[in-house]
Amino acid sequence: MEDKVKGIIAVENKYGLMMFRMGLTYLIDIGVSNLADDVVEENIRQILAKGEEDKANGTTSHISPEFQCNIIRCAAELSKFSIWTLFSYIKKHLVVPK
């Protein structure tokens, strides 16, 4: 995990804090734009269909289709908040385990 953090710090150092924050904002904004209701529902249909196909073929996944769908639903709900509200929440409420 520490190497990954160092990699992120290296990107921040390469571009500077302002550009780094703008890059993060753009990254999240692009993700949010891909979470329109019709796109979410289509992705859920595809996941469930693949799950049924895998079940019929005797294939199992580490993550169930229902779990995957809930991840998408959660992301879609979070996409309704502003990027800055999300960043503020992350800064104040998410603690990185050591």
Burial of 69 (0-12, 13-18, 19+ CB in 10 A): middle
40 and 81 housed in the same domain: yes
27 and 46 housed in the same domain: no
40 and 29 housed in the same domain: no
Q: What is the pLDDT of residue 37?
A: 87
In a domain, 92, yes or no: no
In a domain, 97, yes or no: no
Q: What is the pLDDT of residue 70?
A: 94
- Please, what are the averages of pLDDT over each run of 10 residues along the chain (98 residues)? 82 93 88 87 94 92 92 91 87 76
Q: According to the 3-state scheme, what is the secondary structure of 59-71?
A: CCCCCCHHHHHHH
Q: What is the pLDDT of residue 97?
A: 66
CA 31 to CA 92: how far, in whole Å?
A: 22
SS3 content of the chain, % helix, strand, coil (to 5): 80, 0, 20
Q: What is the pLDDT of residue 98?
A: 65
Q: What is the pLDDT of residue 1?
A: 56
In a domain, 57, yes or no: yes
Q: What is the pLDDT of residue 2?
A: 77
DSSP single-letter state for residue 81: S
Q: What is the pLDDT of residue 90?
A: 86
